[in-house]
Amino acid sequence: MNQHDLVVIGAGPGGYVAAIRAAQLGLNVACVEKEPSLGGTCLRVGCIPSKALLESSEKYHEAREELKRHGVKLAGVELDLQAMLKRKNQVVTALTKGVEGLFKKNKVSRYQGNARIEGPGKVSVEGEEKAEIEAKHILIATGSHSAPLKGVELDGDRIGTSTEALDYPEVPGHLVVIGAGYIGLELGSVWKRLGAKVTVLEYLERILPGMDDELAREALKLFAKQGLEIQLGARVTAARVEGNQCVVEREGGEPLRCDRVLLAVGRLPYTEGLGLESVGIELDEKGRIPVDERFATSAEGVFAVGDVIRGPMLAHKAGEEGVACVEHLVTGFGHVNYDAIPGVVYTRPEIASVGKTEEQLKEEGIEFRKGTSPFLANGRARSLGQTAGFVKVLADAETDRILGVHILGPRAGDLIAEAAVAIEFGASSEDLARSCHAHPTLAEALKEAALAVGQRAIHS
Ligand code: NAD
């Protein structure tokens, strides 16, 4: 029997971060992961490989289409897809090895295999090695898996999920993407830039549900200009392989024939085979593990964080929860501010949000003032040649406290950090507007939008 203070199930951004923090706080920690490499979906087959491909495909696209505008002439630009995929794999390996190194440094004991809760304080590991673990606390951080769609026959090759779309052996002639969410738009962009015809079928009358509507509408126009064919109100009812091709059926439209299909209609909490029944945990109506504000489940000593619980399925949200959970366990304090969790779509331009959207504020009956600033009025954006998009700051009408910031534009994913910090510190739009921003930087667009809340923007 292996004894630990805490056993973490899952080594994704929720689990591995929690394991390291708990070890820093002096606990004897074990982490069980079924995959041979650490890092979870995010590092292995999610955020990291997709960002590597987004970066590489953007460089290819720039070399072919944009550098000439900068006076850089290139002859014979060619795609070496195998090299691109290899580089992506190297980025992933370096990072997953990095987590291994961090586990060693922090003396987190790693077990490889499927973890199953056998009762209070008891976890068994089934895999190449078998183990029985006893621990006072169990933290579930098993993440999520791609949601299936009725009628869509995944064959793990031509009709697949994001995992397959990170490794297509050739650029598909025609790729049909089901779902215009984070994954559909990011990976759709990658293969479009590399030369595929990409059709995105979205069930709703908008893209990116949950994001600020004005931002999403503007982004839709920009994606259409890039040649992504996005069909709204398109409900997919079936997809299957026929010979060398795929056929996708949708309501009220002709079936589409294509080379590959990417199913990206959301993700579901992953709890299969975890043995939750052994400690009496029941899932909610969406298959999530119910937890309280300390991330405690209904079972004494069992906690859960990340995609298996409520809230957005985002790596950084899971990490924050992992830290808060173990800090609460050890110190009695631990907190996540759900109003300050940014969301980023790494398309071009990037789309980033933190806090409330205009729609949410209206729904909640909160009076707000709004300031916007276009990147067209930003000197740095002009120099980069990336002027599409804008920044929007939403502030409480009475107190001026910043309630939400939404950015569509170059490096929006990096720019949003300033807004998250501002919300975390309870800043007003005037605080942001009076903070000196270096010139010429993209961040000046945030300052301008904050100035615009008080009707005193200088540059627009
Ligand atoms: P998503 O929830 O972002 O988008 C799914 C889309 O599919 C929605 O727009 C939905 O309306 C649409 N849809 C549902 N059923 C459909 C049907 N029958 N036909 C056509 N469209 C349909 O989900 P996702 O893009 O699969 O991403 C999964 C999760 O992974 C998300 O929760 C996201 O937070 C996370 N993720 C985050 C990032 C990032 O942070 N950059 C990147 C990738 C994934």
209-224, pLDDT tens digit by residue? 999 999 999 999 999 9
CA angle 241, 203, 411 (to 5 degrees): 100
For the CA of 46, the closest atom of ligand 1 is 43
What count of Cα atoms within 13 Å lies in the side-chain half-sphere of residue 390?
18
Q: Name, in order, each residue with C-beta under 8 angstroms of 44's C-beta and a sequence gap of 6 or more.
A: 35, 37, 92, 96
In angstroms, what is the span from residue 180 Cα to ligand 1's centroid? Answer: 7
Please state, rounded to an integer, the average pLDDT across all residues of the chain. Answer: 97
Q: Is the pLDDT of residue 406 over 90?
A: yes
For the CA of 47, the closest atom of ligand 1 is 42
Select from 53, 146, 159, 183 the residue to mutate for testing ligand 1; criterion: most ligand atoms less than 8 Å from CB: 183
Q: Which of 220, 239, 240 is nearest to 231 (CA)?
A: 220
Q: Is the peptide bond before 440 cis (omega within 30 degrees of 0)?
A: yes
Tell me, yes or no, if 439 is annotated catalytic.
yes
Predicted confidence at residue 128, as pLDDT, reads 82
Select from 45, 199, 265 the residue to mutate for testing ligand 1; criterion: most ligand atoms less than 8 Å from CB: 265
CA angle 268, 323, 21 (to 5 degrees): 120
* 197-201 and 174-178 strand pairing: parallel
* 131-140 and 2-9 strand pairing: parallel
In angstroms, what is the span from residue 231 Cα to ligand 1's centroid? Answer: 15
**Rounded Cα gap, residues 206 and 179, in angstroms:** 11
Q: Which of 144, 140, 124, 142 is nearest to 291 (CA)?
A: 140
Q: Whose CA is nearest to atom 5 of ligand 1?
A: 265
In angstroms, what is the span from residue 455 Cα to ligand 1's centroid? Answer: 36
Q: Whose CA is nearest to atom 41 of ligand 1?
A: 345
Q: List residues near ligand 1 (CB under 6 A).
A: 149, 178-184, 186, 201-204, 209, 235-236, 264-267, 312-314, 344-346
Q: Is 278 within 8 Å of 298 (Cβ atoms)?
A: no
Q: What is the mean pLDDT of residues 234-249?
A: 97
Q: Is the pLDDT of residue 255 over 90?
A: yes
What are the tens digits of pLDDT across the range 143-194?
Answer: 999 999 999 999 999 999 999 999 999 999 999 999 999 999 999 999 999 9
Per cent of the chain over pLDDT 70 is 100
pLDDT category, 460, cuts 50, 70, 90? confident
**Rounded Cα gap, residues 150 and 159, in angstroms:** 13
**Rounded Cα gap, residues 389 and 446, in angstroms:** 12
- Rounded to 10 deg, the angle between the 81-105 and 47-61 helix axes is 150
- Catalytic residue, chosen from 174, 328, 335, 439, is 439
Predicted confidence at residue 23, as pLDDT, reads 98
What are the tens digits of pLDDT across the range 324-347?
Answer: 999 999 999 999 999 999 999 999
In angstroms, what is the span from residue 183 Cα to ligand 1's centroid? Answer: 6
In angstroms, what is the span from residue 146 Cα to ligand 1's centroid? Answer: 9
For the CA of 307, the closest atom of ligand 1 is 32
Q: Name, in order, each residue with C-beta under 8 angstroms of 261's C-beta and a sequence gap of 6 or more.
A: 152, 158, 159, 160, 175, 176, 177, 178, 239, 246, 248
For the CA of 184, the closest atom of ligand 1 is 25
In angstroms, what is the span from residue 86 Cα to ligand 1's centroid? Answer: 26
- Residue 31 pairs in a beta bridge with 8, 110
